[in-house]
Amino acid sequence: MTPQNVNGATTKPTAASAQTNCGLTVPQVYDLFCYVKVVCGRSTGTIEPPVVPDGAEEVFADFGDFDTIAVWLVDGWPLVASDQMTMTHWRLNSGQ
């Protein structure tokens, strides 16, 4: 059996290789995510997917290996955020 070079074969993507599904940059999506977290103060308290308003636009930053943050916008305002790796969610105007 001959040795194979596997350097980097299992390396997790870094922030430099992260990508978004929209015209926003990763730091911009992260800022929206943090805004919802800070305004809410605490998570929804469940691992169930967050309730998303009808017509909301989802933007996300994908860091690889299921490490994704998502934010849902309504009329340009961030209302719901989700850390999909830890299954923690925040939602404005839900009493949570």
Residue 24 belongs to a domain: no
pTM of the predicted model as reported, rounded to 2 decimal places: 0.75
Give the structural domain span for 76. Answer: 30-91
Residue 25 belongs to a domain: no
Residue 42 belongs to a domain: yes
**How many whole angstroms separate alpha carbon 19 and alpha carbon 7?**
23
Residue 2 belongs to a domain: no
Model confidence at 15, pLDDT cuts 50, 70, 90, reads: low
Residue 3 belongs to a domain: no
Tell me what the pLDDT averaged over the chain comes to: 81
Residue 8 belongs to a domain: no
Tell me how many domains the chain contains.
Answer: 1
